[in-house]
Amino acid sequence: MPRTRARVARAADEGGPEAGARVNAAGELWLKPGKERSLLRRHPWIYDTAIARVKGRPASGATVAVRGHDGQWLAWAAYSPASTLRARCWSFVEADTIDADWLAARVRESVARRAHLTAEADALRLVFGEADGLPGLIADRYADQLVVQFQAAGVEAHREALLDALLAATGCGNVFDRSDSASRSREGLAQASGVVRGAEPPPRIAIREHGRRFWVDVRRGHKTGWYIDQRDNRELAARLAARARAAAGRDLAALNCFSYTGGFSVALAAGGAASVLSIDASADALLLARENWRLNGLPEAAAQWQEANAFEALRALRAEGRRFDLIVLDPPKFAASHHHVDRAARAYKDINLSALRLLAPGGWLLTFSCSGAIGVELFQKIVAGAVADAGVEAQLLRRLAAGEDHPLRMSHPEGEYLKGLLLQRV
Ligand code: SAH
């Protein structure tokens, strides 16, 4: 038995199932010729097709040494035998030891990088997986509650160390696990959801964001409960509404399509929209959206809530001759992968065309796509097609993206997903 494996086996015996992961190199991945190139650029992913052979018998999530075809050391990575994404790199520094201390340092750095954002919100993403050098780990903070997702075998293997590190870095006591996404099955991991540290979260947690307040249901809400990534775009919507009202000198009508729990609805009304129609297919989301409206002291008469399929609802609004000065379109991910791009493109085109037909002259459209498989350029092309088909003219005023707590690591372009356009009809 090679020395390293003997050490791993001993460590595991002594310290329980996690101890083995404390020792680097439970095995080695040797790459095929040419496949070292992306790692030399610090791209963190290694697909099964890039691997020539595996030395040793690393367990799921174990740390392995990655070597080029000539044996050159390239990275420490977490092994994921069930996934075609066979390994995700922790470090490109040979002297590093991937242990609890190393992980805690990465967590501390991630949290510290967001410190300046706490003034504007207490709902923040503290760790964003690959972008923060912790592939597959999501950690969100809602006031004093942490919510985590372990989306890859590597972070799952270090679950306890990472939870300890998150508590130490934030001073929070309660952590709820939302590792219930279907993507876990690709990593050979079962879905899991529940309290992992401290107490059960209350049914709703009040968060603040740019001076507004919202209820978040971390147990049952989408993602970890709230679309944290849209924080700055909701603030933009509020400022636009204020600007538009001042410019128009009249009451403005807004439409928030795919409203979820009303984040943009509240922002639009708080900014100055006289009425907001919110459309979503989920009755639960709309229920919480109404509560959020109330929580911000907005007038009940200014809100309209519609539980409907947005594709049909938008057409119906046109048939009724409705017009809106401000429209937000923030649909769910239409393209789950590259295989779905064509169908997704048609869906984006459809809703954008419908929205543009409802947009008053001079009105603004904030339109988004969170499909990673649809790039910025393609999205802009789709929307340009919708503008042309609607027979209107529009200006692109701004390109939009997720907030700073959802950074894009330059070495990992796959991390880019949320994109948006701010258009004004002219
Ligand atoms: N803009 C929101 C997030 C939107 S998430 C925010 O800032 O919080 C997308 C929403 O679209 C979800 O609430 C989901 O329930 C809704 N949805 C999905 N398919 C839909 C459809 N066909 N019609 C209407 N709503 C839909």
**pLDDT tens, residue by residue, 73-82:** 999 999 999 9
Instruction: Take atom 22 of ligand 1 and give the residue whose Cα is closest.
Output: 309
Mutation test of ligand 1: which of 258, 292, 406 has the most ligand atoms closer than 8 Å to its C-beta?
Answer: 258
For the chain, the average pLDDT equals 94
Torsion of CA 102, 107, 112, 117, to 10 degrees: 160
- 357 CA to middle of ligand 1, Å? 20
pTM of the full predicted structure?
0.93
Cα 425 to the center of its chain, rounded Å: 30
Closest residue to atom 10 of ligand 1, CA basis:
258
Which atom of ligand 1 is least distant from the CA of 282? 15
256 CA: nearest ligand 1 atom: 1
Q: What is the largest CA-CA distance in the chain?
A: 80
pLDDT band at 182 (very low <50, low <70, confident <90, very high): confident
Distance (angstroms) between ligand 1 centre and the Cα of 116 equals 30
State residue 24's pLDDT score: 66
Instruction: Tell me the C-alpha distance between 355 and 268, whole Å.
Output: 17
From the CA of 258, how far away is ligand 1's center (Å)?
4
Q: Are 90 and 63 in contact (CB under 8 A)?
A: yes
Which residues, other chains included, contact 426 with Cβ-Cβ below 8 Å and sequence gap of 6+? Answer: 361, 362, 393, 394, 395
Tracing tokens 């207490």 back to the chain, one arrives at 122
Mean pLDDT of 216-226: 97
> What is the set of active-site residues?
370
Residue 7 has pLDDT above 60, yes or no: no
CA nearest neighbour of 343 among 331, 334, 352, 356? 334
Give phi and psi for 75, each to the nearest 5.
-165, 160
Question: What is the distance between the alpha carbons of residues 38 and 35, in angstroms, rounded to a whole number?
Answer: 7
Counted residue by residue, the chain has a size of 426
Average pLDDT over residues 187-192: 96
**What tokens does 71 get?**
């044996």
Q: How far is CA 255 from CA 245, 310, 425, in A?
A: 15, 11, 15
Ligand 1 binding pocket (C-beta < 6 A) is 227, 230, 258, 260-261, 263-264, 279-282, 285, 309-311, 330-332
pLDDT in tens, 267-290: 999 999 999 999 999 999 999 999
Q: Which of 213, 141, 131 is closest to 176 using CA atoms? A: 141
- In this prediction, residues 339-356 reach a mean pLDDT of 97
For a substitution probing ligand 1, which of 280, 314, 317 has the most ligand atoms within 8 Å of its CB?
280
For tokens 């990673």, name the residue: 372
Tens digit of each residue's pLDDT (9 = 90 or more) over 99-135: 999 999 999 999 999 999 999 999 999 999 999 999 9
Q: Which bin fits 272, alpha (ψ -120 to 50), beta or left (φ > 0)?
A: left
Residue linked to tokens 């006591």: 173
Separation in Å, CA 75 to CA 30, 36, 87, 90, 137? 11, 10, 10, 7, 19
Residue 16 — very low, low, confident or very high, per pLDDT cuts 50/70/90? very low
